Each structure stands twice: as C-alpha cells, then as structure tokens.
Chain A
Amino acid sequence: SQTIHQWPATLVQPVGSPLSLECTVEGTSNPNLYWYRQAAGRGLQLLFYSVGIGQISSEVPQNLSASRPQDRQFILSSKKLLLSDSGFYLCAWSGQRRFETQYFGPGTRLLVL
C-alpha cells in the first residue's frame, strides 16, 4: 500500500532564515505530487504540483519554491522566510490522471517568529 511521509513534523524558524521541507512517497511510481498550505481560518491552498521529475508548476506567486529531484521525493524551500509563511504545510500524492483522489501526508506545522 502507498504511504506518504513528511518531515519535520514541527518547525519554529526566525524570519529571514531558510526553509527545507521534505516529502516522500512509498508504494507507487510516477505519482503526481502536491504542496498545500493551510493557514488559520482559511482553506487549503495549492502552492505547487509536479507531474514528473524536474517538472514543477507554481499556483501562487510567493517566496517559496519546490523541487522534485527523484520520482517520489518533493521538497519545499525558501531562501528567506516571512512571518506570513507560518502555517500547516501538507504534501499530497495522486495517480497520474487528472482529478484523481489526492492523499495527504501528516503535515509540517511551521511557525515563523
């Protein structure tokens, strides 16, 4: 069966510091991968998605970036964190066809101070 991992689970970072969040998927090949952010009082917002190695699409302009160095690895990064980057970051995977069910990882709670 498929499993999705994220780490770290919780992170407290100062403003201006860099960020690297990692997501890996097991038990499937060629998944679509997604990064979402969930801010307090707001719905889940898609940040990036990837349909293959090295292929990244950005949904929202911001100071974050994403990379997919391997088929089942998805990384969310920032060079300099802002206060507004605080939130709950969720990685998800789905099959290759569009509109398939997306399955979420356990999430990373990020607090920028």
Chain B
Amino acid sequence: EDKVVQSPLSLVVHEGDTVTLNCSYEVTNFRSLLWYKQEKKAPTFLFMLTSSGIEKKSGRLSSILDKKELFSILNITATQTGDSAVYLCAVGGPNSGYALNFGKGTSLLVTP
C-alpha cells in the first residue's frame, strides 16, 4: 500500500527562524511529489518535484527531492507569521491512478 509520511506533525517557531519540513514516501512507480500550503481553506500549490537533486525555489521557500532515499524536504527561511499553515505533501504514481496520495500534513505556527 502506498504511504506518505510527514514529519514533524506540528512545529512552533519564532519569526525569523528557518524550518525544515520532511516528507517520506513509499509509492510504487513514483512519478511526482507535490507540496501544498493550506491555511483556513483550500490547499494552494507550492512546488512539483519530479527529478532528484534539483532544488525548486520560490522566495523564502525551497524544496528538493531525493528519489534514492524516497524523501523530500521543504525549507522556509526567515519565517514570518504569514507562513503559519498546514503544509501538505502529496505523491502521484501510476498505481495510484489519478489520485494524489496525501500525507497528514505538518502544522506550522510562527509566533511574533
């Protein structure tokens, strides 16, 4: 059975700290890994990763995939209170059909 495990489940940091969120997966015939940010409502797309070792970057957020060790990390530098959210990792692969397999998420709280 395909699995996506995120850690930690929750995290509290101070503004300005750097955080690293983890996502490990066991998915047959992996094709892509996606990161989403979920505040009160809909998850918003952050990154899609398909190749190992290539960092994707958007402002203070960056992410990288390791297909050999089957994990990805999401880094947020110089955190701000607006980064407080649940960060979701999702993995797609042929055996999952059209579904994305989601982890349970990491809840991040950035305090002033």
Q: List chain A positions with a Cβ less than 8 A from chain B.
A: 32, 34, 41-46, 49, 51, 57, 59, 90, 98-99, 101-107
Contacts and interface: CB of A to CB of B under 8 A. Distances in A.
B98 A101 contact: no
Interface residues of B, number: 25
Given A34-B98, A44-B90, 17 more contacts: A43-B101, A43-B102, A44-B100, A44-B102, A46-B100, A49-B98, A51-B98, A57-B98, A59-B97, A98-B94, A99-B31, A99-B32, A101-B34, A104-B44, A106-B41, A107-B41, A107-B42
A38 B48 CA distance: 21
A26 to B, nearest CB: 15
17 contacts: A32-B98, A34-B98, A42-B104, A43-B88, A43-B103, A43-B105, A44-B88, A46-B100, A49-B97, A49-B98, A90-B42, A99-B31, A101-B34, A102-B34, A102-B100, A104-B42, A104-B44
Contact of A104 (B31, B43, B48): B43
Contacts of A98: 31, 92, 94, 98
A106 B42 contact: yes
Contacts, number: 54
Contacts of B104: 41-43
Contacts of A44: 43, 88, 90, 100, 102
A51 B98 CA distance: 9
B91 to A, nearest CB: 10
B99 interface: yes
A104 B36 CA distance: 10
Given A41-B104, A46-B99, A105 B4 contact: no
